[in-house]
Amino acid sequence: MVDFIKGKSNTSKVRVWAKEQRETKVNKRPIEYLSDSLIYGLSTFCDPTAPTRKENPISEISKKARNQYSGDTCLFEVGCYLYFRLDFWHYKTNIQKGNLTILEFCIKQFLKVFEKAMQVSNINDIYDNRINLYAKIIKESENVLEERHHYLTQLLIRTKNNSLPVIYDFTDFPLIIIDAVELTFLDIAIKAFELGMIPACIETMQKFYDIIDTSN
């Protein structure tokens, strides 16, 4: 069961919940531990409690940007991208069909957690909207990574200060211009997640599959 504490509008209920799951000693099925660990990894994106460098004018601007993009709606957008990357990894590595059921479980848990946190009734449709976007980029773009990051950045901008995600027509998706420092902060945060957390989540799933194979 997913329960959240009440907080300010820009407080991430999911981040608090994910940390509680990590610290609470409760017996769960291995697949639930896997799902929780993926959500915990996701929750590290723009964590306002993460250590920062010595205070200076730039760090103060970064701190403000971090707070603006620390809500659950931003985590949801990053989560859609993360689970797309996990899904694509399964496809590229020809993961066995039975293991796809495990991924499906993790995606359903991700959507369940965020549906309750954001109180969005059409979260499955929004998720499909994002997955279709990233899939289309892979099929049609010459600069896949750059374009994926561009759209993810624009989606994050639209959820600034915890504004709720909606379904978009990506054939008519106007560019939103933001402050250069804020844009640089988002660019760094996305690339850090791309290079650090996404490979870590893929490794977590691979280790899970390795355990399953050795136990059979």
pLDDT in tens, the chain (216 residues): 354 444 445 579 999 999 999 888 778 899 999 999 999 999 999 988 776 655 545 566 677 778 889 899 999 999 999 999 999 999 888 776 667 789 999 999 999 999 999 999 999 999 999 999 999 999 999 999 999 999 999 999 999 889 999 999 999 999 999 988 889 999 999 999 999 999 999 999 999 998 887 655
Q: Is-contact 83 152, C-beta < 8 A?
A: no
Rounded CA-CA distance 215/201 in Å is: 21
Where do runs of H (alpha helix) occur along 69-122? 72-92, 97-118
**Euclidean distance between CA atoms 112 and 121, whole angstroms:** 10
Side chain identity at 203, as an amino acid letter? E
Q: How far apart are CA 130 and CA 60, in angstroms?
A: 32
User: 177 and 61 in contact (C-beta within 8 Å)?
Assistant: no
The pTM for the full model equals: 0.90
Interatomic CA distance for residues 202 and 148, integer angstroms? 18
